[in-house]
């Protein structure tokens, strides 16, 4: 039985298609990150899982139970899920303990039992003894923890995180990431984590669903998403992948195939059965780029830009063979280039983006 | 697979049904009944009422007078409101909050009290002028018994309305627009003339339309100033005809009240037309404008502002209080003649006045409490509802307040002249018909601040409760009500203050035993007992002002824009 199953889900607002035919299965206890640029439909997806939006077509199951179908909606308050909101959504007229105990109060749990469970939840998020505080007197990180405690006290079947770190500063983010990971490990709850920050998604998720323009682009482990992006969007969105046209010269064998890139032969990773075809593109990352020795083969070109990033510099290289293309790579201090320098580089590998099915 | 049971839809349906029933009862039903009486009296189509109305020269004169005082009052109010709001908002004069509180007070005082106070200030029996030895000889008419007097007082009564609307607009004006003009070399007057005022056109036009509607529907001021001079406007004509003819003339006055409705609507439509043609929507949000440094002119400007407050508020109130302290008409006020008898008379001896206190308190408290509890769910639907008919909902709630009170009073009379069908209860000639009209008329006064409270509330607070398993009623009770209650209650207080000394509606609906404070003040003045009317008015003004100050003291806890006299 799956923790969450989304089947052929679509959502239109008037003329606008917010979600198009999205299908995702999340296993019980799995941590799924939904990653995408703003406007990709990830928030709509979350609101539909939560039950705030009706589905246009398709179906949503939570723990084996249909909760959303066209014309049939289990209201959010009967879905037994938890949400950690981006702005925490703590009720300002209640104390921390009242915030956390609210769902138990709604479920008519006895007062002593509520107190015990609230205290446990507070201890779990390291806020012991803060139950009487007002949310207004807490720091951002503490508020986030209260929101987390409020969500876990009801022991939901599924927890949704809506960009929970977007309002925190960089230092706090790292420590909250650790806390989310610990939370997941402790509770074993199924988690759907909405974010636009790929570092967050990579750090936390068992699998990542990359979305764009309302469509699911790829659903895979972070490693697969990084090394074997399913299409150009994923390739360029994740870690600033460079997408370049390539001529495939040989058919796949053992997961590799031969190709020509900017006049140089290159050996590429690829999917089984791939081979020579029109419009083939590869995805390279900065770590595939190496400065060639003067006497060895390589791609000639010049340096267009040097951006110092503290400890390393990001170099933008333009090959003579194709002045429209930029190749980015990092050089540690002290790096030898200035703008306009001639240079020769080698590409040590890359990923042949699979042929796209027409749609 | 089976969908689990759904209780939430039922509650949502129940809420929608309740709100729908309230709207039908308090807004649609009275308006439809009125229209029916005008077009289909007795159930058949007839233009008889309209024809006889058209042929009546008195109606024509009253209509003309209504337009004259409506436009005149609007011009005075707009001129005063615009000047004061620009000075208070755009210059660095001090004590602006206090100034605003005092400038807005006339709006909170019932029109008939304003009228009464001014009458005391000027007439031959003026305790104030007599104390100074400046009073005109006894027997000469009070100069305020004229169209000019009505226009001046309407202007003073509604200048705060213009002021508040324009000030809200000015505070939203992005400072960059002004700074760009200054950078282009424009001085203060040029900036105001070429940037500020043109951008404020929609606010000013909107305020002017609202003022016009208020002036046209005003009863208290033309009743006190116009009836003695036989200068009738439509609301006072309706009052006189109804007082003379009773329910028999209902059909005729229904036509007259529809006429006022048409005039009011004309104002609103014209405003809509003008603001459509000059659409200067301000899209950016920014810091408010830097206030101009007046330099050495600051003190004179402040003095001028406080002089204005003295003239429009302090002097008339002094007139009121002085009259309430004299023993009789024309008696000069000095240490020997001063008395508190009038107060003890109206508070302890006069039985109608005592009843009126009880009635008005009951009416205004009930109307306020009802409105607070209804405003929370209605505001919820207006702000967060997704249904298409929400726009109409808002319109239907605004209607009874947008239309002059006379219109609603006549509609209520028509609706309840006969016993309520099925139930057989007769509320005509009881205090309950006044309550009905108050509930209908003042509901929107609580809904507006509540809606602005909702818009400042983060919806995720409700969604978090929904996720926690709370049903709609549970969320309304434990999350939403506590969070918007301050805004709704501020609205409730506005209703309380307005209803406490209300006259327009109750003058047409009262009966012996169901007098309101407004009616008793009016009766005293009509019977020549200005001293009692003044004493009663002074009490009401004091109560109103104390409430304003009281609410001020917890204004920190209220959402922005909930109290009209606070930013």
Task: Give A226-284 pLDDT, tens digit per residue.
Answer: 999 999 999 999 988 889 888 888 888 888 998 888 888 888 999 888 888 888 889 99
Q: Which of residues 442-471 of B touch A (CB under 8 A)?
A: 458, 460-461, 463-471
In degrees rounded to 5, what are phi and psi of residue A263? 80, 0
Q: Of the candidates A93, A107, A150, which has its C-beta nearest B482's C-beta?
A: A93
The radius of gyration of chain B from alpha carbons, rounded to an integer in Å, stands at: 25
Question: B484 with B453: CB under 8 angstroms?
Answer: yes
Q: Say yes or no for a CB contact (<8 Å) between B468 and A103.
A: yes
**Banded model confidence at residue A28, pLDDT cuts 50, 70, 90:** very high
Nearest to B467 among A69, A81, A92 (CB): A81
Q: ipTM of this complex > 0.85?
A: no
Does the distance separating the beta carbons of A75 and B466 come in below 8 Å? yes
Tell me what pLDDT residue B6 has.
43
* Cα separations in angstroms, A301 against A321, A344, A350: 8, 6, 19
What's the Cα-to-Cα distance from B118 to each of A120, B107, B121, B192, B320, rounded to whole Å?
A: 69, 15, 5, 34, 8
* Residue numbers in A near B487 (CB within 8 A): none
Q: B467 and A66: CB-CB below 8 Å?
A: no
Q: Is A87 close to B458, i.e. CB distance below 8 A?
A: yes
Q: How far apart are CA A312 and CA A289, in angstroms?
A: 15
Tokens of B528: 């020549």
Q: What is the 3-state secondary structure (H, E, C) of A80-102?
A: CEEEECCCCCCCCCCCHHHHHHH
Residues A46 and A26: beta-carbon distance below 8 Å: no
Number of H helices, E strands in chain A: 8, 22
Q: Label residues B212-222 b or e (16+ Cβ within 10 Å = b).
A: bbbbbbbbbbb
Rounded CA gap, B185 and B196, in Å? 15
Q: What is the CATH code for B47-317? A: 1.10.3720.10
Task: Identify the CA nearest to A354 among candidates A241, A250, A254, A270.
Answer: A270
**Structural domain boundaries in chain B:** 47-317
> CA nearest B149: which of B57, B256, B65?
B65
Structure token pair of residue B419: 């016993």
What pLDDT, on a 0 to 100 scale, did the predictor assign at position A241?
87
Q: How far apart are the C-alpha atoms of A150 and A117, rounded to whole Å?
A: 10
pLDDT above 70 for A331: yes
Identify the structural domains of chain A with CATH numbers, from first to last. 4-232 (3.40.50.300), 233-352 (2.40.50.140)
- Distance from A183 to chain B by nearest Cα, in Å? 19
**Considering only A21-30, A167-176, B506-515, which range has the smallest mean pLDDT?**
A167-176
Q: DSSP of B525-544, one letter per residue?
A: HHTT-HHHHHHHHHHHHHHH
The pLDDT score that the predictor gives to residue B2 is 36
Residue A64 to chain B, least CA–CA distance (Å): 9
- Are the C-beta atoms of residues B73 and B155 closer than 8 Å to each other? yes
The pLDDT value recorded for residue B364 is 93
Say how far apart CA B557 and CA A90 lie, in whole Å: 18
Q: Which residue has the higher pLDDT, A197 or B124?
A: A197
Give the number of A-B residue pairs with CB atoms closer than 8 Å: 80
* B143's tokens: 């100069």
Mean of pLDDT values over A147-160? 88
State both tokens at B19: 């709100």
**Pairing mode of beta strands A207-212, A215-220:** antiparallel
Q: Flag if B469 and A85 touch (Cβ within 8 Å).
A: no
CA separation (Å) from A234 to A76, A214, A224, A354? 32, 14, 11, 12
Interface of A with B (CB under 8 A): 50, 52, 61, 65-67, 69, 72-83, 85-87, 89-93, 102-103, 106-107, 150, 154
Which whole number is the average pLDDT over A143-167? 87
Band of the pLDDT at A32, cuts 50, 70, 90? very high
Mean pLDDT, to the nearest integer, of A94-122?
91
B550 contact A CB<8A: no
Q: Going by C-beta distance under 8 Å and a sequence separation of 6 or more, which residues neighbour residue B248?
A: none
The pairing of beta strand A190-195 with beta strand A158-162:
parallel
DSSP readout, B422-444? TT----TTSHHHHHHHHHHHHHH
- pTM tops 0.90: no
How many contiguous H segments (helices) and E segments (strands) does chain B have? 28, 0
Q: Are B116 and B224 in contact (CB under 8 A)?
A: yes
| pLDDT for B177 | 79
| HEC assignment per residue over B233-290 | CHHHHHHHHHHHHHHHHHHHHHHHHHHHHHHHHHHHHHHHHHHHHCCCCCCCCCCCCC
Please give the pLDDT value at position B279: 55
Q: How many whole angstroms from its chain centre is CA A97?
A: 32
Q: Mean pLDDT across the stretch A139-153?
A: 88
Both tokens of B87, joined, read: 């000075």
Per-residue pLDDT tens listing for chain B (567 residues):
333 334 456 788 888 888 888 888 888 888 888 888 877 766 666 666 677 777 788 888 999 999 999 999 999 999 999 999 999 988 888 888 889 989 988 888 889 898 988 888 887 777 677 777 777 777 777 888 889 999 999 999 999 989 988 888 888 787 777 777 878 777 788 888 888 888 888 888 888 988 998 899 899 999 999 988 899 999 999 888 888 877 777 878 888 888 888 888 888 777 777 766 655 555 555 667 778 788 888 899 999 999 999 988 998 888 888 888 887 766 666 777 778 888 888 888 888 888 999 999 999 999 999 999 999 998 898 888 777 777 777 777 777 777 788 888 888 988 888 887 777 788 888 889 999 999 988 888 888 888 888 888 888 899 999 988 888 899 999 999 988 888 888 888 888 988 988 888 998 888 888 899 999 999 998 888 888 888 999 998 898 888 888 888 877 777 666 677 776
Chain-chain contact of B483 with A79 (C-beta, under 8 angstroms): no
Distance of CA A296 to the CA centre of its chain: 40
pLDDT at B152: 94
- For B394, list phi and psi in degrees, rounded to 5: -60, -45
- Which residue do the tokens 């949502």 mark? B12
Provide DSSP, B127-144. HHHHHHT-PPPTTSPPTT
Which of A14, A46, A73, A75 is the best residue to mutate to test the B interface, defined by the most B CB atoms within 10 Å of its own CB?
A75
Edge-to-edge, what's the strand order for the sheet holding A158-162?
A: A81-84, A158-162, A190-195, A31-35, A207-212, A215-220
Distance CA B403, CA B412 (A): 13
Comparing CB atoms, the residue among A65, A82, A91 nearest residue B1 is A65
What would the mean pLDDT of A122-141 be, rounded to a whole number?
A: 87
DSSP, collapsed to helix, strand or coil, labels residue B229 as: helix
In A, minimum Cα distance to B6 occurs at: A74
Pick the more confident residue, B31 or A97: A97
């Amino acid at each position: 039985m799956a923790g969450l199953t989304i089947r052929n889900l679509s959502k239109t607002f008037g003329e606008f298609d917010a979600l198009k035919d999205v299908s995702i299965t999340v296993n019980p206890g799995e941590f799924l990150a939904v990653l995408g640029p703003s406007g990709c439909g990830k928030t709509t997806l979350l609101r539909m899982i939560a039950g705030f939006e009706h589905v246009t077509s398709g179906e949503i199951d939570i723990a084996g139970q249909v909760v959303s179908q066209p014309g049939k909606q289990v209201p959010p308050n009967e879905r037994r899920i938890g949400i950690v909101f981006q702005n925490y959504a703590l009720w300002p007229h209640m104390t921390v303990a009242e915030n956390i105990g609210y769902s138990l109060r709604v479920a008519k749990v006895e007062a002593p039992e509520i107190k015990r469970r609230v205290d446990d939840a507070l201890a779990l998020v390291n806020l012991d003894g803060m139950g009487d505080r007002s949310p207004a007197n807490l720091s951002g990180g503490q508020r986030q923890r209260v929101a987390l405690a409020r969500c876990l006290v009801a022991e939901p079947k599924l927890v949704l995180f809506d960009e929970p770190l977007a309002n925190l500063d960089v230092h706090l983010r790292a420590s909250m990431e650790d806390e989310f990971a610990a939370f997941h490990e402790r509770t074993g709850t199924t988690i759907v984590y909405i974010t636009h920050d790929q570092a967050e998604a990579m750090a936390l998720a068992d699998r990542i669903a990359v979305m764009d323009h309302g469509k699911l682009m790829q659903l895979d482990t972070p490693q697969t998403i990084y090394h074997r992006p399913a299409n150009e969007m994923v390739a360029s969105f994740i870690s600033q992948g460079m997408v370049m046209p390539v001529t495939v010269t040989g058919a796949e064998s053992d997961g590799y195939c031969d190709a020509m890139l900017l006049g140089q032969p290159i050996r590429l990773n690829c999917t089984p059965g791939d081979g020579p075809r029109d419009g083939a593109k590869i995805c390279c990352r900065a770590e595939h780029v190496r400065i060639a020795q003067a006497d060895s083969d390589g791609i000639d070109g010049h340096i267009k830009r040097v951006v110092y990033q503290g400890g390393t510099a990001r170099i933008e290289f333009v090959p003579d063979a194709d002045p429209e293309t930029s190749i980015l790579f990092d050089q540690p201090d002290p790096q030898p280039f200035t703008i306009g320098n001639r240079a020769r580089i080698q590409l040590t590998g890359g990923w042949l983006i699979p042929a796209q099915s027409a749609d | 697979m089976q969908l689990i049971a759904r209780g939430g839809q039922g509650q949502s349906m129940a809420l929608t049904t309740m709100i729908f029933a309230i709207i039908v009862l308090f807004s649609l039903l009275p308006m439809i009944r009125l229209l029916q009486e005008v077009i289909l009296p007795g159930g058949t189509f007839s233009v008889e009422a309209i024809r006889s109305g058209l042929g009546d020269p008195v109606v024509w004169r009253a209509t003309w007078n209504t337009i004259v005082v409506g436009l005149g009052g609007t011009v005075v109010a707009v001129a005063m409101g615009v000047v004061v709001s620009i000075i208070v908002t755009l210059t660095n004069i001090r004590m602006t909050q206090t100034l605003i509180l005092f400038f807005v007070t006339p709006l909170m005082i019932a029109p008939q009290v304003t009228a009464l106070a001014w009458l005391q200030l000027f007439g031959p029996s003026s305790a104030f002028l007599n104390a100074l030895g400046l009073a005109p000889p006894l027997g000469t008419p009070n100069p305020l018994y004229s169209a000019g007097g009505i226009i001046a007082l309407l202007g003073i009564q509604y200048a705060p309305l213009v002021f508040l609307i324009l000030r809200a607009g000015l505070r939203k004006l992005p400072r960059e627009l002004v700074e760009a003009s200054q950078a282009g070399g424009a001085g203060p007057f040029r900036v105001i003339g070429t940037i500020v005022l043109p951008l404020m056109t929609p606010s000013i036009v909107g305020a002017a339309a609202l003022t016009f509607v208020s002036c046209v529907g005003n009863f208290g001021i033309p009743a006190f100033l116009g009836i003695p001079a036989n200068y009738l406007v439509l609301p006072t004509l309706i009052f006189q005809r109804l007082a003379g003819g009773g329910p028999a003339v209902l059909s005729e006055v229904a036509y007259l009240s529809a006429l006022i409705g048409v005039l009011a609507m004309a104002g609103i439509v014209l405003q809509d037309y003008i603001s459509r043609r000059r659409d200067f929507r301000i899209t950016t949000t920014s810091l408010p404008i830097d206030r101009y440094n007046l330099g050495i002119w600051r003190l004179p400007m402040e003095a001028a502002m406080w002089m204005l407050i003295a003239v429009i508020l302090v002097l008339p109130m002094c007139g009121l209080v002085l009259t309430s302290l004299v023993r009789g008409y024309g008696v000069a006020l000095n240490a020997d003649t001063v008395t508190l008898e009038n107060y003890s008379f109206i508070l302890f001896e006069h039985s109608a006045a005592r009843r009126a206190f009880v009635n008005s308190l009951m009416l205004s408290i009930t109307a306020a409490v009802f409105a607070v509890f209804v405003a929370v769910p209605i505001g919820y639907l207006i702000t967060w509802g997704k249904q298409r008919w929400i726009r109409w909902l808002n319109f239907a709630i605004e209607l009874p307040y947008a239309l002059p009170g006379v219109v609603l009073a006549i509609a209520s009379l028509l609706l309840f002249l006969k016993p309520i069908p099925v139930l057989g209860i007769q509320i005509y000639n009881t205090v309950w018909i006044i309550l009905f009209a108050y509930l209908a008329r003042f509901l929107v006064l609580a809904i507006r601040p509540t809606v602005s409270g909702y818009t400042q509330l983060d919806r995720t607070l409700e969604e978090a409760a929904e996720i926690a398993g709370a049903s709609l009623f549970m969320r309304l009770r434990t999350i939403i009500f506590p969070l918007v209650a301050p805004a709704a209650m501020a609205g409730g207080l506005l209703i309380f203050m307005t209803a406490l000394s209300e006259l327009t509606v109750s003058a047409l609906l009262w009966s012996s035993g169901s007098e309101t404070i407004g009616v008793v003040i009016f009766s005293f003045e009509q019977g020549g007992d200005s001293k009692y009317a003044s004493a009663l008015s002074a009490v009401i003004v004091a109560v109103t002002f104390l409430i304003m100050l009281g609410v001020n003291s917890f204004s920190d806890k209220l959402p922005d824009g909930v109290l009209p006299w606070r930013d």
